[in-house]
Amino acid sequence: MGSFYLVMFVLPLLIIALAYYLSRRAMKDG
């Protein structure tokens, strides 16, 4: 059951966090 919550609730947040982090980093790189 833990894997259900991880994939259905934590994974989407992680992907959005990755998008946020990479877009910030790309901004610093110019």
Partner 1 sequence: MDETQVVTLAFDPYAVAAFAGYLLLIVGIGIYASRFSSQGISEYFIGGRKMNRVVVALSAVVSGRSAWLLLGVTGMAYAQGPSAIWAAAGYIIVELFLFLYYARRLRNFTEKNDCITIPDFFADRFGDPKGLLRISLVSIFLIFMIGYVSAQFVAGGKAFSSGFGLEMSTGILLTAAIVLIYTLVGGFLAVSLSDMIQAIFMIFSLVLLPVIAIMDFGGLTAVIENLSAQDLMYVDPFSLSVGAAMGFLGIGQGSPGNPHILARYMSIDDPKQLRTSALIGTTWNVVMAWGAVFIGLAGRAYFPDVSMLPAGDTENLFPVLAQQHLPPALFGIVLASIFAAIMSTADSQLLVAASSVVRDVYEKILKKDENVSQKKLVLLSRIVVLMIVILSVIFGFLAEDLVFWLVLFAWAGLGAAVGPTSILALYWKRTTREGIFAGLFSGTAVTILWYYTPLLSGMMYELVPGFLASLLATWLVSLKTKPPDNAAKSFQDMMDE
- List residues near partner 1 by CB under 8 A: 1, 3-4, 6-8, 11-12, 15-16, 18-20, 22-24, 26-27, 30
Residue 19 Cβ vs partner 1, minimum distance, rounded to whole Å: 4
Residue 18 Cβ vs partner 1, minimum distance, rounded to whole Å: 7
Quick count: other Cβ atoms within 10 Å of Cβ 4? 8
Residue 16 Cβ vs partner 1, minimum distance, rounded to whole Å: 5
Q: Nearest-CA neighbor of 5 among 24, 27, 14, 26?
A: 14
- First-to-last alpha carbon distance for the chain, in angstroms, is 43
